[in-house]
Every structure is written in C-alpha cells, then in structure tokens.
Amino acid sequence: MSLGYGNVARVFHWLTVLLVFSTIPIGWIMTQELPRPTQNLLFVLHKNLGVIILTVVAARLLWRFVSPPPPAPATLPALQRRVAMLVHFGLYGFLLLMALSGYVRVIAGGFPIESLNALGVPPLLAKNEPLADAAKALHATAIFGLLALIAVHVGAASYHGLVRRDGVLARMWPPLAPRKP
C-alpha cells in the first residue's frame, strides 16, 4: 500500500489551495474603498468562488469517505498524528463554516449568488437582516481561525519537507504523481 495520497485527493487538495488563496485576498480587497464597479465585480467573484469552494470541499469530504487517506507514517509521534488529524478536520470545518456563513450572509441580506441563479437554484432562506448581520460577523471572525489553521498546516508541511525530510510532505506533493508501490 502506498503511503502517499492518490491523484484525486491531491487534485482536490491543490484545487482547494488555489481557490482559498484566491478568494481570501479578493475578500479583503473588495471591502476597501474602491470604485463601485470594481468592488461589485470583486463581490461577484468572491461569492461565486465561495460556491465553488463549498462544492469542492463537499466532494473532497465525500472522496475522503469513499477513499480514506493513507495512514500517517509510523515514524510520526502519536501526538503529531493527533494534532495533524485535528488540524485537517479543523480546516474542513472552517472551510465549510466560511462558505455557509457567506451564503447565509448574502442570501439573508437579499443579494444574489449569480452562479446559483444561473443554475436555477432558488435561495434557501428568506431575507432576514439580523441573520445576515450575524452571518457577516461570523464570516469576518472565522477567517482568523481558518488563517491560523492554514499557517499551522503550511508550517508543519514545511517543517517535515525542509527540516525533517521524513516523507510527510511528499505524501501530497507534487500535485500529481505516480503512486509508489
């Protein structure tokens, strides 16, 4: 059995990275003082990337259920294995929380999500300003938890890849690789 992740899991991982690392700066920039047409374009892009992230994360979790990840290397101390598992589930949780709170903020605020409208998906909530405000506050606060977990994840991967050189980083890098026997 290979100790590395398969190509489907790798593609899901790196696609998530690309989407999240695109949408975070867009989310920050769109809230700055900008010409209204530019700001509107960034809001549309951010909302629709959120829909894509939610879809990718849901598919990724389904894939993880159908094709469980390889076990952590036996050389990894038990505490590091537990922390890695908690960080991974925390990342999934925060990604879902960000996407869902963004959805609630937009729909309860009475705004469209253009990609869902184009697909004929009706809003799942009625306009509700207090709910929209609560979701906006949650979305604006939860980003810090997501960023912290991303920093821990990237730091740990870098430590294993650059310092320990123990093969942990190679389980997911490169994004596409032949499975080793």
Does 181 sit behind a cis peptide bond, omega within 30 degrees of 0 on the bond before it?
Answer: no
* Residue range 140-164, pLDDT digits in tens: 999 999 999 999 999 999 999 999 9
Identify whether the C-beta of residue 99 lies closer than 8 Å to the C-beta of residue 19. no
Task: Assign 14 a pLDDT band (cuts: 50, 70, 90).
Answer: very high
**pLDDT on residue 95:** 98
pLDDT of 180 higher than 70: no
Identify whether the C-beta of residue 47 lies closer than 8 Å to the C-beta of residue 106. yes
67-76 contacts at long range (C-beta below 8 A, 24 or more positions apart): 67/6, 67/8, 67/9, 69/5, 69/9, 70/1, 70/2, 70/3, 70/4, 70/5, 70/171, 71/3, 72/168, 73/3, 73/166, 73/167, 73/168, 75/166, 76/166, 76/168
**pLDDT on residue 1:** 37
Amino acid identity, position 28: W
Task: Assign 176 a pLDDT band (cuts: 50, 70, 90).
Answer: confident
* Residue range 111-134, pLDDT digits in tens: 999 999 999 999 999 999 999 999
* Residue range 62-111, pLDDT digits in tens: 999 999 999 988 889 999 999 999 999 999 999 999 999 999 999 999 99
**pLDDT on residue 178:** 66
- The encoded tokens of residue 171 equal 């389980």
Residue 44: HSE in the Cβ half-sphere, 13 Å Cα cutoff: 10
Q: What is the pTM of this model?
A: 0.93
22-27 contacts at long range (C-beta below 8 A, 24 or more positions apart): 22/49, 23/49, 23/50, 23/53, 24/143, 24/147, 27/143
Identify whether the C-beta of residue 54 lies closer than 8 Å to the C-beta of residue 99. yes
pLDDT, mean of residues 50-69: 97
pLDDT, mean of residues 24-47: 97
